[in-house]
Structure 1
């Protein structure tokens, strides 16, 4: 569902920002402000867009969530921990760490924002902390923005009632964000390496195969394996040369193959049932696994 709010003065802007993000104090701004905010939800992820003629300076309490963005036009300045950061058109950015207060100055923005909770990020990488507010490279920033737009404008618009599609889209967004902004998710501890044993792997595999039709996360798999997320990832990489989520995808492709052979729906319906928003991506994965297209299997069933 899309929610649209239009404001015509700084008092109204104060109410909108405080309700959407955190308690703020307006320290100054220009008269005659106009702003439009559009919000859409994709499962647990919120996509916001701001545009308009507005200038304000504000002090904000900690956001509690990670707010990533892409600035199309206008200017933004963030100040946190004694450091000033200037966001210019074309920049992707993390607004501020979720546990830190900050100051911001915003001028005539056209910007898209992604709001991610620590819990949502933790489903992909437990305990992760972002160590920088700028992307690791312009190429990574461009890929991240393309992913955001695709999920917001295509997946959300068509498949918001398909739980596995929404869940996969959410994790794709988180994984792309982790690859784009500096963080500590790749750190491995000695305990992680010690826990990455075959018994944990077997428990994880059994859980995946028994629950492939459900929305399960990397955290769920690690819990079933009785080790950390990083140890689970290391076990799959060490013993199977894959990842837990890639193994889950392989199992779901196998289940989709069974549905195709039983003619249990169209290719598009079966693809969505097993978590694919785009039949073309499903077809590519299926062909890699079975050497034929899904439609060929469906016709021969």
Structure 2
């Protein structure tokens, strides 16, 4: 977490982090300016409160940058493409390697979420893998208000309950799942239809390849892997892998991986001793389950009892 109430310190931080050159048109009182960063490694959440007229120019980031306005009006532009945000709006920008961005605002509160393009591509099942050039989305705005609200709730949960929790941040699987959760929410909220001529891979992985994928998952339950990693391990495309799991197992690679991890958590709960300090929360985090309530529901659906009951037994 980076936080400051000093404008000069914040501008130096932003310049070092984003390559952003900022200018202030009015004096900013030290006690009024606010900036806080929550860093997830491959993604970050920055919250700003700037009671002034200000402007910025930013170098290309090779990342998805999502801007959510809370107060004030904001103009954001990349090249000749400019957008105006009112409170409650959220837009996504894709900063290609040759596409610097700029903006200006007055008396604003805003949240900026930066997500790696790799994470987004994996969350879309490889839709963009074979497209030439920098990543482009067909629209900057969410597909619907409901999906925009779901995206905002996801970011709030990750910021308040994961990135602010040192125990959660210390678990690699928790952080990798947090990244995938954000990427999936972004992929769901924003249009992702590829450009004309998008490659279509509906070829089915053969059952032997599917068995190899299952074996790979079961031998790497504690590894930071996703659909792209599993597909690469068995030499098929992410789309072919998704299709094979749907056709032959009526599930997805991610759901199968989650079930494997749930089974490991079940075994750990059976072996654990509460007197030694073992808890449901620590075991759930060990296997990458971020939300304790959701873990409990998944566990009860799979084993017919609560994780706490298994631990006490």
When normalised by structure 1's length, the TM-score is 0.88
1:167-178 maps to which residues of 2 (within 5 A)?
A: 167-178=176-187
1:31 corresponds to which residue? 26
CA contact (8 A) 2:65 2:114 kept: yes
Alignment match, 2:154: 147
Label 1:8 to 1:155 Cα distance change in 2 as closer, same or farther (>3 A). Answer: closer
Q: Distance in 2 between matches of 1:13 and 1:98?
A: 25
TM-score between the two structures when normalised by the length of structure 2? 0.85
Q: CA separation of 1:205/1:299 partners in 2, compared to 1, >3 Å: closer, same or farther?
A: same
* Alignment-derived partner of residue 198 in structure 1: 207
SS of residue in 2 equivalent to 1:107: strand
From 42, 45, 48, give the equivalent of 2:43: 45
Q: CA deviation at 1:81?
A: 4.2
Contact 2:245 2:253 in 1 (8 A): yes
Query: What is the CA distance between 1:50 and its match in structure 2?
Result: 0.8
Name stretches of at least 5 consecutive residues in structure 2 with no aligned partner.
130-134
C-alpha distance 248-188 of structure 1, shift in aligned 2 (>3 A): farther
After superposition, residues 1-301 of structure 1 pair within 5 angstroms as: 2-8=1-7, 15-24=12-21, 26=23, 29-34=24-29, 35-99=33-97, 100-125=99-124, 126=126, 127=128, 129=135, 130-158=137-165, 159-184=168-193, 189-190=199-200, 192-263=201-272, 265-300=278-313
Unaligned runs of 5+ in 1: none
Displacement after TM superposition at 1:268 (Å) = 1.7
Aligned in 2, Cα 1:92/1:227: closer, same or farther, shift over 3 Å?
A: same
Q: Is the 8 A contact 2:138 2:194 kept in 1?
A: no
RMSD: 2.4
SS at match of 1:63: coil
Contact 1:71 1:92 in 2 (8 A): yes
Q: 1:289 to 1:135 in 2, by over 3 A?
A: same
- The size of the alignment, in residue pairs, is 294
Secondary structure at the aligned position of 1:54 is classed as strand
Contact 1:57/1:105, CA 8 A, preserved across alignment = yes
Asked if the contact 2:53–2:105 (Cα under 8 Å) also holds between the matched residues in 1, the reply is yes
8 Å Cα contact 1:70/1:92 also seen in 2: yes
